A and B are shown apart, each in its own frame.
Chain A
Amino acid sequence: MKNYLFTFLLFVVSFLSGQENYTINGYIADANDGESLIGATVFIREISGGNATNVYGFYSITIPPGEYTIEYRYIGYTTQIKTISLRTDQRMDVELVSDQVVLEAVVVTAEPEDVNVSGVEMSTAEMSIETIRKIPSFLGEVDVIKSLQMLPGVSSVGEGSSGFNVRGGSVGQNLVILDEAPVYNTSHMLGFFSVFNPDAVKDVKLYKGGIPPKFGGRIASILDIRMKEGNSKKMEANGGIGSIFSRLAIEGPLKKERSSFILAGRRSYIDVLAKPFTDALDGGAALYFYDLTAKANYNFSDQDRLYLSGYFGRDVFNFDESQGINWGSKTLALRWNHLYNQRLFSNLTFFVSDYDYELAFGDDNLDRFEWSSNITTLNFKSEFTYFINPESELTFGGEVIKYQFEPANAKGVSLGEVTKFDLPNKHALEYALHVGNEQKIGDKTTVLYGLRFSGYDFLGPGNYFEFGDTLAGFRPSVDRVSTAKKGVSIQNYLNLEPRVSMKYSLTTSASVKASYNRTVQYIHLISNTTASNPLDIWTPSTNNLQPQIGDQVAVGLFKNFKDNDFETSAEIYYRETQNQSDYIDGAELFINEEIEGDLLSGIGRAYGFELYAKKNEGRVTGWVSYTLAKTELKIDGVNFQENQETREGKWYPARYDQTHNLKVAAFYELNARTSLSANFSYLTGTPTTFPTHRYEVQGMTIPENANDSRNNLRIPDYHRLDFSITRQGRKVSKKGKVRKNQDSWVITFYNLYNRKNPFSIYFAQQDERYQPGELPVTEGRQVSILGSIVPSFTYNFHF
């Protein structure tokens, strides 16, 4: 495989070095603060083509010598037109001016991009941070993940779930990367807020399908979040004071226009505010989260840029000084951009990521229980882009990830007697090589094709198990426990992941796109609870637990109307997955070394139809997105219904299967300083399992589902309306001076019509003391996490 790649490269390089072409390249940045612009268009009129900047703001176009007129465009910025006479390689770094400048009249933006029609990407959703800021949010806190849920194909099972679902995939099937480093738990406070501080985020892109070869490792989606570099021209402070938490971000140059940094932090204080109102928080009890996002970068030369970014965040629930639970992540990434020559751009990343959670209870050192678990990864990634010519771009690279899983470090102290119950660590290595080519063929067709070759080793030191046979759904016995030494490969998996996407232009404003990708996922998020939560366990593939494999096909039609004022698209997708996990009844996932024995394996399928219509211009803007979809699993031992003897499973809906998913987002510019926004969500109720009977054994009343079915009914539908008003502060003070502080006030009403959206339905007996012979009363109960309107008030400032 490696030889093939090298030969191919040599061929390309030698073929092209014979041509007499020259390269225009450079970085495109914001004139105001020096932030590089991702996805900015460089359009060369004479060839009716060009390129877009990559995630670092870099572009490169190689063409024959001549006179050219180049348009540099980016949505929200004024287009710049430059004429050049190309006789030699030229470096053109460009700064674009934002046109979100004060105007008394309605703000006019630059001509909207038609990239949704002309680009070969499909099944992606890109949201600018400006749009994210406008969406009314829970407690007035702008949220990246919640905003993405307003797009087709993206949903969640409701408040309280610490993740999101993409095209019928589970929460653990999304890869979320922050400046290339993976984030294992993307939420604070059980899903109410995401870990991404909007003051530090520059760009958010979600790949739901048509995943390019440079990404891999998860089945359902890739969420690529890029942080700002920090204002390289002057110091800037952004922040907000809200009802639940406050934020402050400071950014500025370390060396003007060469080096900058950004430091953004948030801390919640609801526990401090609530203290006078409840005594549940006396005695050292605390409930808060904080996060710190930091980045620094240095442009050594025209060819070299170095970036260092980090994230540190934590959620804390303490019952008193010595008892409580907490969890959090730390990541650190070091990246180096290097231009090998005018056309070869490379990025090398080295990062470390740690996600851990701990639980402690017991008042003193004589009687105590402490448990912690974590997953640490070390990753090295290299990515090369070779800008061959305006019609063709080659990407290639590789990645190595070293995992260390500590499933449990636990200690119990009883009367001073210490018992340790640590589970041994697990180790794994995941690696991949990828190559891809984006090729324009003629005027109308673009194809992106490539191959990702991925591999995985479950490594020693550690134990591994072989289980006996059993009827599906029952815990098998352990036949053998073996130990592997350090570095020995206990199990190896190798996979080829072909990727192909294509676009065909029907007209200048309409195109049809299709894609196929195979993705493989080697680590699994194990959860047997109703919704994912921070205590869910990441577990590696082993000799028993096989990697998940997904094959997705998508076809879409994209059409823009009225000069890109309206964007519409319709897309259908179908994804089949293998090696999907579910659990035996009564699975023990907490401190269980033989956890694989409690897992059942089967297949899944998800398919759907997504419709999207967006209005970009005018005083009223916004979008409507509707998804009709189904996601189901077929696993022996689960939902076997009448197959009582073989226990062969029948197809059943996944816990996050939501048939209808309708989202409407609307923004209205009332005047130059005031804007209103609203969003409406409607989701079909998620599936759940109901009992049919009850029976008594030794005084215990036990529920029974005599149909042996799973997720056979649905909880009631979810719908919610949010509304917010944003009022910008004056730009010019009453005395006529320009105000240094650009501030705004935001009032938000979440769940405007007060609906108690159900989260789950469970069945239990009433909590009474029953006399012997008296039978308990059993009830069905519907749980809502949020049952009322939540108003909030936030003050944002910007210096």
Chain B
Amino acid sequence: MKKLFLPFVVAVLFSGCEDVIDPGLPEADDPIVVDAWLYRKAEPQTISITRANAYFDQNTPQGISGATVNVYDADDLSSPLPFLEEEPGKYVWNPINPSDSFGSVGQTYVLDIELNGDHFNSVSSMNRVPKVDSITWRLEPENAFFDDAYFGEFWARDFAGEGDVYWIKTWKNGEFLSKPHEIFIAYDAGFSEDGNADGLTFIQPIRDAMNPFDQDEDNNFLPPYKDPLCENGLSTLPREELDSAYVEINSITYEAYFFLFQVQLQTNRPGGFGELFSTPLANSNSNIFSDDSDQKIVGFFCTSAVSGLGRKFDCDAVFED
């Protein structure tokens, strides 16, 4: 957030001139996309293998069939966890018992994909994840960008021991906040290695990750969460109309942290004057490697442990300073 704050603000203060254009793009062989992010949750896990589309092509990418996909616990390379093709390009692992989760914390996993004689491999570990202790909302007074509005924050504490990295995801009213500026990664309780935030409560800008920043047609910022309109400690709104939030902390590996960092740089474009501070286009490096160096692979393999908490934004969730 902090390095994105500057371009964000510059873009707001000066709307530069921007035009949508349709340039011709150079051509290249289509890379194979492997989206292999596995979560320790009691539900089926999917690895998808597709062909990348040309940049302006919005169609659903074509699935690649016929691959053999296995994930191995590094301690037991003889018993693979199989991922079976259920639809073209979608390879699914189903838990034996519905309450089983994929993987365990502290283990290292190896990904092996065999496709047309080539092998694609990768390694990831499943790291520990702290609980989300609570979620509260506070009233922020008016500033240059917002009128009075309620902001939510989640509370959790990083483990002691440097180098825990996380990906923080939020669902507001059941909808996943998936815009590029809503990708939040944390290194210990801060943003990066030099943040010196080991063992602390997640710092303010990360706690605020759960707030969406949408604009209306006049480019005014909409409040992140709806005011519950409290009177005498009770909301005057019917319960169905109150906002709710679900925050999930996913543990990731250091390579995944770097991958998501690159994805943030590439997708969260400030636009307008903010482009004065942005970096040129670059690829987000994959951690999946092919035997055949001519075949380009993009995408990522990561195994995440998950902890989450949901809360309805009712009057008892308001945190007064």
Residues of chain A at the chain B interface (Cβ within 8 Å): 160, 190, 280-283, 285, 287, 317, 319-320, 325, 359, 361-363, 366-367, 369, 408, 412, 414-415, 417, 419-421, 423, 474-475, 528-531, 533, 535, 585-588, 590-593, 644-645, 655, 688-710, 712-713, 756, 759-765, 767, 769-770, 772, 775-787
Contact = CB atoms under 8 A, between A and B. Distances in A.
B276 A777 contact: no
- Best-surrounded residue of A587, A593, A767, A770 (most CB of chain B within 10 A): A767
Given A419-B190, A644-B293, A697 B300 contact: yes
B283 interface: yes
Given A415-B201, A697-B300, A764-B180, 20 more contacts: A282-B144, A361-B2, A414-B200, A419-B203, A421-B190, A692-B27, A694-B52, A695-B33, A697-B33, A702-B267, A702-B284, A706-B52, A706-B296, A713-B26, A759-B16, A760-B278, A764-B267, A783-B17, A784-B18, A787-B17
Contacts of A712: 26
Contacts of A688: 280-281
A762 B271 contact: yes
Nearest to B178: A699
A319 B23 CA distance: 36
B282 A586 contact: yes
Interface in B44-88: 50, 52-61
Contact of A414 (B50, B57, B203): B203
A785 to B, nearest CB: 6
A766 to B, nearest CB: 9
Interface string B208-245: 00000011000000000000000000000000000000
Q: Which 5 A-B pairs have the closest CB atoms?
A: A787-B17, A586-B262, A706-B28, A585-B282, A693-B52
B279 A530 contact: yes
A706 to B, nearest CB: 4
Interface of B: 2-3, 5-6, 9-10, 12-13, 16-23, 25-31, 33, 35, 37, 50, 52-61, 141-144, 175-176, 178-180, 183, 190, 192-197, 200-201, 203-205, 214-215, 258, 261-263, 265-267, 269, 271-273, 275-285, 293-294, 296, 298-300, 321
A311 B225 CA distance: 49
Contacts of B280: 528-530, 655, 688-689, 710
Contact of A689 (B35, B195, B281, B299): B281
A785 B180 contact: no
A533 B273 CA distance: 12
A163 to B, nearest CB: 12
Nearest to A694: B55
B192 A588 contact: yes
Given A369-B2, A778-B58, A690 B26 contact: yes
Nearest to A709: B26
B200 A693 contact: no
A762 B196 contact: no
Contacts of B293: 644-645
17 contacts: A363-B141, A417-B200, A419-B197, A420-B196, A475-B258, A586-B258, A586-B284, A586-B285, A688-B281, A689-B281, A691-B55, A692-B54, A694-B52, A694-B57, A763-B269, A784-B19, A785-B17
A475 B283 CA distance: 14
A586 B261 contact: yes
A693 B276 contact: no
B35 to A, nearest CB: 5
B20 to A, nearest CB: 5
Contacts of A762: 269, 271, 275, 278, 281
A785 B176 contact: no
A784 B272 CA distance: 8
B201 A359 contact: no
Contact of A691 (B25, B196, B201, B271): B25
Contacts of B214: 769
A784 B17 contact: yes
Contact of A697 (B3, B55, B192, B299): B299
Given A285-B144, A528-B279, A756-B19, A414 B204 contact: yes
A644 B286 CA distance: 14
B196 A767 contact: no
Contacts of B180: 700, 764-765
Contact of B273 (A160, A419, A763, A772): A160
Given A593-B194, A702-B267, A706-B52, A283 B144 contact: yes
Contact of B61 (A593, A691, A695): A695
B191 to A, nearest CB: 9
Contact of A700 (B2, B10, B178, B294): B178
A764 B31 contact: no
Given A420-B196, A693-B52, A775-B58, A363 B143 contact: yes
A548 B272 CA distance: 34
A783 B28 contact: no
B37 A697 contact: yes
B285 A692 contact: no
Given A412-B195, A778-B55, A784-B18, A764 B278 contact: no
B143 A531 contact: no
B9 A319 contact: yes
B200 to A, nearest CB: 7
B184 to A, nearest CB: 12
Given A367-B204, A693-B30, A785 B61 contact: no
A547 B115 CA distance: 48
Contact of A783 (B16, B37, B204): B16
A781 B21 contact: yes
Nearest to A588: B192
A693 B31 contact: yes
A702 to B, nearest CB: 6
A625 to B, nearest CB: 27
Contacts of B20: 779-781
A762 to B, nearest CB: 5
A706 B58 contact: no
Given A780-B22, A782-B18, A704 B31 contact: yes
Contacts of B195: 412, 419, 421, 591
A695 B299 contact: yes
A777 B278 contact: no
Given A283-B144, A703-B281, A762-B278, A693 B18 contact: no
B267 A690 contact: no
Contact of B276 (A415, A529, A692, A709): A529
Contact of B278 (A530, A644, A776): A530
Contacts of A415: 201, 204
Nearest to A766: B20
B299 to A, nearest CB: 5
B192 A529 contact: no
A781 B18 contact: yes
Contacts of B141: 363
Contact of A325 (B6, B28, B175, B271): B6
Nearest to A713: B26
Contacts of A701: 267
Contacts of B142: 283
A685 to B, nearest CB: 12
B144 A695 contact: no
Contact of A698 (B16, B35, B267, B284): B35
A785 B17 CA distance: 6
Contacts of A692: 25-28, 54-55
Contacts of B294: 644
Nearest to A645: B293
Nearest to A593: B194
Nearest to A655: B280
A533 B179 contact: no
A782 B19 contact: yes
Contacts of A709: 26
Nearest to A585: B282
A697 B266 CA distance: 13
Contacts of B203: 412, 414, 419
Contacts of A531: 276
Contacts of A369: 2, 205
